[in-house]
Structure 1
Amino acid sequence: MSIVELNEATFQAAVEGGKPLIIDFWAPWCGPCRQFAPVFDAAAAKHPEVTFAKVNTEEEQELSAGLRIRSIPTLMVFRDNVLLFSQAGALSASQLDELIEQVQAVDMEKVHAEIAAQQNQAPDQA
């Protein structure tokens, strides 16, 4: 499976795609980003059921700022248009595999129900 390069124009469509989406926010000058790249590439090859994407924070400064990326590398994981995970720092291969397993195990019907319940409560708390 290839890794998709995302930009401001393609980001939302990728998030709304049918598969879980794991995004690596990186920069060419970042040593930890370069060290993490082979781990990310290997996971992409191992998990075709997941979409793997990268955002170059140097080229996509507005997108990165809009998502509040403060440190790189940062990983974000979306599933069914919901942000499930966001963390700065590189993961080991085993940590990334474990994260993928956890994301795939999430009961998204329950997550969407919880989000709907929170949204229904929000006006009452104002």
Structure 2
Amino acid sequence: MPLPAAMLPSEDAPDAENLWVVCLCAEWCGVCRDYRALFDGLAAAHPQARFVWVDVEDEAELAGEVDVDTFPTLLLAADGAARFLGPLLPQAGVLKRLLDNIHEQAPLPAAHEAQALFARITAKHG
């Protein structure tokens, strides 16, 4: 199924070579199951970025102390630093806007758990 134009990278999209997009979901969650196809479509549209799907129950050790209560929860990291960690509306346009502007966002220096989560994920999936 071709991607809608809203999901394709913008001409002015940042270099995604050092970009990680991690979706923290659960298999039992219907919203997560529906979001998976959209997430995989965005991954195909951004092949230079690293997209990782983490089931927080099957890979509980990765989530660590990060409490995931709302699905989907996404972790976005660029240039080795966590830039976003939180729930996201399961719509292509919302994630695409984050991806297009990720390098303009400051790292999350105060969010130790976000950086620690990113370190665990890169150690396992890197």
Q: Does TM-score exceed 0.5, indicating one fold?
A: yes
Greater per-residue helix proportion:
1
Deviation at 1:80, TM superposition (A): 1.8
Corresponding residue for residue 106 of structure 1: 104
Corresponding residue for residue 23 of structure 1: 22
Aligned length: 93
TM-score, with length taken from structure 2: 0.64
Q: Is the 8 A contact 1:33 1:90 kept in 2?
A: no
Matched position secondary structure for 2:18: coil
One-letter amino acid of the structure 1 residue matched with residue 73 of structure 2: T
Q: Distance in 1 between matches of 2:39 and 2:92?
A: 8
Deviation at 1:56, TM superposition (A): 1.0
**1:27–1:94: structure 2 CA closer, same or farther, 3 Å change rule?**
same
Matched position secondary structure for 2:51: strand
Corresponding residue for residue 33 of structure 1: 32
List aligned pairs for 1:45-84, cutoff 5 A.
Answer: 45-84=44-83
The Cα RMSD (Å) is: 2.2
Gaps of 5+ in 2: 1-16, 110-126
Deviation at 1:88, TM superposition (A): 1.4
Tell whether 2:116 aligns with 1:87.
no
**1:89–1:106: structure 2 CA closer, same or farther, 3 Å change rule?**
closer
TM-score, with length taken from structure 1: 0.64
1:43-84 Cα distance to aligned partner (Å, 9 max, x none): 001011211001111111132132332322211101122111
1:81-122 Cα distance to aligned partner (Å, 9 max, x none): 21111121443111121111011x427xxx57x96xxxxxxx
* Larger Cα-atom Rg: 1
Deviation at 1:31, TM superposition (A): 0.7
Matched position secondary structure for 1:29: coil
One-letter amino acid of the structure 2 residue matched with residue 85 of structure 1: F
Matched position secondary structure for 2:58: coil
Gaps of 5+ in 1: 1-17, 116-126
Q: Which runs of 4+ in 1 moved over 6 A?
A: none
Query: Equivalent pairs: percent with the same residue?
Result: 28
Corresponding residue for residue 13 of structure 1: none
Q: Distance in 2 between matches of 1:101 and 1:91?
A: 17
Q: Distance in 2 between matches of 1:76 and 1:22?
A: 6
